[in-house]
Structure 1
Amino acid sequence: MADAKGTGPLDREKLLYDTAKVVVLGDPGVGKSSLIAAATESFDPNPPPCLPPTRLPPQMENVPLLVTDTSSRSENSASLREVVKDVDVVLLCYAVDMMSSIQRLKDYWLPELRKLETGRPIVLCGCKMDNAPDEYSFEIQRLQLEELLKEFREIETAIECSARTLSFVQEVFHFVLKAVIHPQLPLYDTMNQKLKPRCAQALRRVFLLCDHDRDNRLSEREINAFQIACFNTPLQPDELVSVLETVGEKIPHGVKDNGLTLPGFMFLNALFMERGRFETSWQVLRRFGYTNELTLSDELIQEVSFDISPDQTMELTDRAIVFLTDWFNKLDSGKTGGVKEAKIVSEMEETTPEHIWSGPEWDSVLVANPHAGRVTLEGFLSNWRYSMLIHPKETLKQLLYLGCDSQEVVDLCTTTKRRKLERREQLSRSVLQCLVFGSKGCGKTSLLRGLVGSSAPTAQGLEAGHNYVAVASVTSPQFGERTLVLKEVGPEAASALLKQDGEGGPLEAVDVAAFVFDGNDAKSFAEAQSLMLQVSTTAGDYLPCLFVASKLDQPMAPDLKSDCAACCAELKMREPLPISAQNGEFGSLFRTLVETAVRPGPKDIPETPARKAAKIRRLWMQRLLLAGVAGVVALGVAVYVVPRMRGEGRPDGTDVARARGPGRGGRAR
């Protein structure tokens, strides 16, 4: 494929680097200030101790350099951290006629820079080349530098120059700028001559996006489409033949049916890097949205707005679900209905820098699995839907990493309507959130296990006192298939949630709440009742609420049953829904939760004391308003209508007859 030389500057590079910042470090007397002065084509044999920041005109990709000199009098690590924190590259200098300055690179400068973990590329510059040492000393220096390059992989390149004779000074700053715009470090391991892992991931994704017909090879048409997209020019027929022959000679399986396979595509890119043409690879990577850290740029999803109200959510569209279903089915080639979790992770890591479902947050998520270590399609999609619910921006990027076209990103997600606008109708959202409250040991976790199936971890296998999340699809005859998210809320978590709630608080995002109690424990029911009153009142008396009686392997005790009935009658709620996790009997609980969330019925909003008081206030306000309107109407009748009917005059006291004047044929007095 064509080299990037001669092509115009990339817009993405301009956006990333309006100005490239470089700091010049090194021991006293190595020639730092003279090097900076020489970059402006002047040489001062007695430069000041520290030059002011110097701006060099644009060279590569129309990006200027801002060069900052440093004083060498202090070796304080805190001050070193300060000078390198906002730069793009470090220019580390030594003097070729000072053996001690080379040793200091190894003993002080490079270890200190590594401790700071800035991730900035380093360019080594040997100053005072015009004072080159004898052949013996030169060989020692060469060996020392080779050891440094092996030990400190953050070094991009090493070059020597002379400020006095202006020899190779411009080349020094060319390599400095190249280390910023086309860094070698993230792409290629020169010592082992292979692609870095993140670079390999990025190039695999590029291959997927260019393989439009998904036949695992880039045809001549697809290669030229790639070439035009990245370099604005197609390959000539003889150039294409040459490329395929070069790849075929080295790796025969890299070419298939006059097209490039993935191994061939990877080999070709590695070949460019081996020859030092990193600008070619960077032009490809930036064309497909990659930053210098080889992560996808936020620019790819800038058309999507993530600014939503607390009672709104973001969901995957049918288009995204179809893509994920196809992706999963390719892994489940044997149509077994489940794929090993390790296989899913491995496949995602082929193109994704980080696993989307990792960390403590995901250790608490339960989805449908046929058995330990395997994931069903429903479980796979449930993970994605929940991920979109809690981390929409990161989830969209993950879809792009897997091979979704960034030009279609706006078609991959949708924002739900505000719940306040949907209350008079039914919720249109497909992912519904339910908080599951209850005292310790009342059966909340067992209820969550029931949603995802008996294959979920057993109660003994789950951490006691931990709040879990269960996600699964539920089908309602009325409202079709919806994804139900059950979030367990223990007593401590409930207290914290109620303290922080208010307008725009956590309860704004909830569609329905379930209050679980032990069906054989009156105290457990009393706690559920108290908690329900607090939650409903805090939510503004609009949140649908249900009581769930768990552990009903035997009928509920008569006294407790009577108390439940009296409570529900007073609150105008439906009676508790009975379940038995031990017998696996959940009845229609999950379907009821979905239907209650989508379209709450008259018995789904509790008649709490606060709600009753609000109703009374509204009733009195209506009565007062009606009385006021009636009074105004009566006053109008009295003032305007009655006098006219009686003929007693007008409101201003003028006699009606006089106002009319003399009648026809009469005479005026």
Structure 2
Amino acid sequence: MAATSTAGNFGGKKTVRIVVAGDQGTGKSSLIISVATESFPEHVQPVVPPSRLPSDFYPDRVPITIIDTSSSTEHRNKLSAELKQADIIVLTYACDRPTTLERVSSYWLPELRRLELKVPVIVVGCKLDLRDEQQVSLEQVMSPIMQQFREIETCIECSALKQIQVPEVFYYAQKAVLHPTAPLFDQETQSLQSRCVRALKRIFILCDHDKDGTLSNAELNDFQVKCFNAPLQPTEIAGVKKVVQEKMPEGVNDCGLTLSGFLFLHALFIEKGRLETTWTVLRKFGYDNDIKLRDDLIPITSKRAPDQSMELTSEAVDFLKGLFEMFDVDNDGALRTAELDDLFSTAPESPWTENPYKDAAEKNVLGGLSLNGFLSEWSLMTLLDPSSSLANLVYIGYTGNPMSAFLTTRKRRVDRKRQQTQRNVFQCYVFGSKNSGKSALLDSLVSRPFSDRYTPTTDGCYAANVFEMPGLIKKTLIMKEIPEDDVKQILSNKESLAPCDVAVFVYDSSDESSWKRTSNLLLDVATHGEMSGFEVPCLIVSAKDDLGPHPMAILDSTRVSQDMGILTPIPVSMKLGELNNVFRRIIKAAERPHLSIPETEAGKHRKHYRQLVNRSLMFVSVGAAVAVVGLAAYKVYSARKNSSN
């Protein structure tokens, strides 16, 4: 494997902006003029104008803009502004003034951190020709500083007067931007970064055409041609294998180069400073500087109406089912943590370790994710973050047309008008008073054991599961818990109910005050739906049925449901596991989006008023039509009368 220095995609960088900073008199301006003119200036102004090195100045063929700065107090704001626009910062000190080197670590590097700059730094000693030969070596001085400040990419000494290593300063600076070390290699542990390993593993699998776990000579040659536009000679392939075998015997076997050998080679390139080799490979396979696939390779359209959503197609679901079987190595019908980590080992990270995905799906007693749980997590991710869902599909091996993995659902308002829906994934918002049983309802959806302990939900959390409906049709129900204190803020957005297929209102049936608070939430949501045009079917769930229902709460909730034109409350006890088929009833309500839509008194009055207005307009229209017909008849009659005379 060998890289050829050619122009290419450098994480989207079309130019490199280098800002030179440091104490006054350390040689900043002379260094810039020297590289631009290849000569030492006799007279130098305090701050030179921006200089530009053309694209053909260095092999990567990316132009460079170099910005000089002043360290004086009156120019501090301008200095900060320039530093914040830098792709890389060159910090200078004077080799003949040790105090300026001390200032690099005592002032300049802490100042860059104070400004929260996340760009690499190169420390440059200028005036090398004046350096005292008795001074300690650069490596000895800089090693502890580089240990403390990991943002330092490299350090180098130069002389503008003698033209010693001047071009190298800006070559290393450009290289640090186009081929950064930090995303690839952990200097502290001296090993490849996790995300780099994951990307290289995916590339290895993609290049292993016969799927035998090794790269044969032919596959290695194809890889070389794809990445570097040049074939490998048989002697070169033998040389590569020999290097690997000497250092890592398991890196090569009779069939070819193994994954461990492939990773070892890249670690070796990086250790030898040939980062451009690994970066060329990554970029040829579509990775950016964050070692994620470029946005243009994840073509998810964001042009969706607020009441439209994304779902996995049957093609994508079939792919995921096959993948589930492949990684369920112990054939127990579930993916344990290690198996799931292995499945996502070619993605930048496992996507379900944090909320809202963590614990959002059904698991078995050993913590394994069932097939339904696995597919539910994918449905949830596709609903909430289609771009991330598609990216992860591609990371784990989906090779079909990306646009064939997802479909955009019909608008929910159209579903209501047509009195049917084509959706396979339904999102249910769960409202209710505090301690009413909302979280317990979500836990029941994913078969989590009931807990008497009350823990307030501060953030909206999710639960998802797959249900088989009549006709062997599978539907996914995703439930989102809405904390009581968040409802007012959520409903301040006109489109807040647009993504919702059905709203469920949970109250503690043993507590009359719980019902009163929940009924107010129902009224608020129903009013919002009427006013925004995003009406949703609503159901009432009477929770904690095992505690003995409060008579007034039961009577009033039944009366309210009848007055609003929705189904009577569904009694459940999560503690006893008596769920009264609540989840399938929620799905049925979502499947018939024109039913169970609550009507408020104000809404009824508005509807009645519109009917009266429409009726009046109809009478006016009919009256006008009669008048027109009468006038026409009179004209005909008059004409006949005149002709008879």
Q: Which amino acid aligns with 1:30?
A: T
In the alignment, structure 1 segments of 5+ residues that lack a partner are 659-669
CA contact (8 A) 1:342 1:373 kept: no
Deviation at 1:150? Answer: 4.6
1:177 match: secondary structure: helix
How far apart, CA to CA, are the structure 2 residues paired with 1:544 and 1:463? 28
Does 2:539 correspond to 1:546? Answer: yes
Q: Which amino acid aligns with 1:619?
A: Q
Corresponding position of 1:45 = 42
Corresponding position of 2:620 = 628
Q: Summarize the Cα distance change of 1:272–1:634 in structure 2 as closer, same or farther, 3 Å threshold.
A: same
Q: Summarize the Cα distance change of 1:608–1:459 in structure 2 as closer, same or farther, 3 Å threshold.
A: same
Corresponding position of 1:510 = 500
Q: Which amino acid aligns with 1:395?
A: S
How far apart, CA to CA, are the structure 1 residues paired with 2:47 and 2:552? 88
1:649 match: secondary structure: helix
For residues 595-639 of structure 1, the C-alpha deviation after alignment (integer angstroms, 9 at most, x for no partner) is: 11122364x122432332233234323422332332233223322
How far apart, CA to CA, are the structure 2 residues paired with 1:399 and 1:289? 15
CA contact (8 A) 2:23 2:100 kept: yes
Q: Summarize the Cα distance change of 1:51–1:382 in structure 2 as closer, same or farther, 3 Å threshold.
A: same
* TM-score after normalising by structure 2: 0.89
How far apart, CA to CA, are the structure 1 residues paired with 2:547 and 2:613? 49
Match runs of 1:191-340 below 5 Å? 193-301=190-298, 303-340=299-336
Deviation at 1:512? Answer: 0.7
How far apart, CA to CA, are the structure 2 residues paired with 1:240 and 1:35? 43
CA contact (8 A) 1:209 1:404 kept: no
Name the stretch that deviates more: 260-269 or 407-416.
407-416
Corresponding position of 1:389 = 383
Corresponding position of 1:118 = 117
Deviation at 1:590? Answer: 1.0
Corresponding position of 1:617 = 609
Q: Summarize the Cα distance change of 1:272–1:140 in structure 2 as closer, same or farther, 3 Å threshold.
A: closer
Name the stretch that deviates more: 85-94 or 324-333.
324-333
Aligned residues: 637
Deviation at 1:402? Answer: 3.3
Does 2:164 correspond to 1:178? Answer: no
How far apart, CA to CA, are the structure 1 residues paired with 2:338 and 2:277? 35
The match for 2:629 among 617, 637, 641 is: 637
2:497 match: secondary structure: helix
Corresponding position of 1:608 = 600
Q: Summarize the Cα distance change of 1:223–1:599 in structure 2 as closer, same or farther, 3 Å threshold.
A: farther
The match for 1:477 among 470, 477, 496 is: 470
Corresponding position of 1:656 = 643
How far apart, CA to CA, are the structure 2 residues paired with 1:573 and 1:186? 56
Aligned residues: CA RMSD: 3.1
Deviation at 1:50? Answer: 1.1
Name the stretch that deviates more: 507-516 or 187-196.
187-196
Corresponding position of 2:456 = 464
Name the stretch that deviates more: 189-198 or 35-44.
189-198
CA contact (8 A) 1:445 1:459 kept: no
How far apart, CA to CA, are the structure 2 residues paired with 1:314 and 1:99? 62
For residues 179-228 of structure 1, the C-alpha deviation after alignment (integer angstroms, 9 at most, x for no partner) is: 21122343235676532333223212222332344432223443333223
Corresponding position of 1:537 = 527
Corresponding position of 2:422 = 428
Q: Summarize the Cα distance change of 1:274–1:526 in structure 2 as closer, same or farther, 3 Å threshold.
A: closer
Q: Summarize the Cα distance change of 1:577–1:169 in structure 2 as closer, same or farther, 3 Å threshold.
A: same
1:508 match: secondary structure: coil
Q: Which amino acid aligns with 1:161?
A: C
Q: Summarize the Cα distance change of 1:638–1:413 in structure 2 as closer, same or farther, 3 Å threshold.
A: same
How far apart, CA to CA, are the structure 1 residues paired with 2:444 and 2:528? 29
How far apart, CA to CA, are the structure 1 residues paired with 2:74 and 2:238? 57
Q: Summarize the Cα distance change of 1:596–1:478 in structure 2 as closer, same or farther, 3 Å threshold.
A: farther
Q: Which amino acid aligns with 2:385?
A: H
1:240 match: secondary structure: helix
How far apart, CA to CA, are the structure 1 residues paired with 2:329 and 2:7? 44
Q: Summarize the Cα distance change of 1:556–1:537 in structure 2 as closer, same or farther, 3 Å threshold.
A: same
Name the stretch that deviates more: 49-58 or 380-389.
380-389
How far apart, CA to CA, are the structure 2 residues paired with 1:143 and 1:440? 63
Q: Summarize the Cα distance change of 1:598–1:17 in structure 2 as closer, same or farther, 3 Å threshold.
A: same
Q: Summarize the Cα distance change of 1:468–1:166 in structure 2 as closer, same or farther, 3 Å threshold.
A: closer
Deviation at 1:286? Answer: 1.2
Does 2:149 correspond to 1:157? Answer: no
Deviation at 1:469? Answer: 2.5
How far apart, CA to CA, are the structure 2 residues paired with 1:232 and 1:215? 25
Does 2:479 correspond to 1:486? Answer: yes
For residues 81-132 of structure 1, the C-alpha deviation after alignment (integer angstroms, 9 at most, x for no partner) is: 4332111111222233333333333333334434544232222323223334
Corresponding position of 2:2 = 2
Q: Which amino acid aligns with 1:475?
A: E
Does 2:360 correspond to 1:366? Answer: yes
How far apart, CA to CA, are the structure 2 residues paired with 1:612 and 1:116? 59
1:273 match: secondary structure: helix
How far apart, CA to CA, are the structure 1 residues paired with 2:184 and 2:435? 53
How far apart, CA to CA, are the structure 1 residues paired with 2:474 and 2:63? 57
How far apart, CA to CA, are the structure 1 residues paired with 2:618 and 2:479? 45
How far apart, CA to CA, are the structure 2 residues paired with 1:616 and 1:164? 91
Q: Which amino acid aligns with 2:503?
A: A
Corresponding position of 1:35 = 31
Corresponding position of 1:585 = 578
Corresponding position of 1:661 = none
CA contact (8 A) 1:546 1:574 kept: yes
How far apart, CA to CA, are the structure 1 residues paired with 2:101 and 2:74? 16
Q: Which amino acid aligns with 2:537?
A: P
* TM-score after normalising by structure 1: 0.86
Q: Which amino acid aligns with 1:357?
A: W
Corresponding position of 2:566 = 573
Does 2:13 correspond to 1:20? Answer: no
Deviation at 1:51? Answer: 0.9
Does 2:127 correspond to 1:128? Answer: yes
CA contact (8 A) 1:77 1:112 kept: no
CA contact (8 A) 2:328 2:339 kept: no
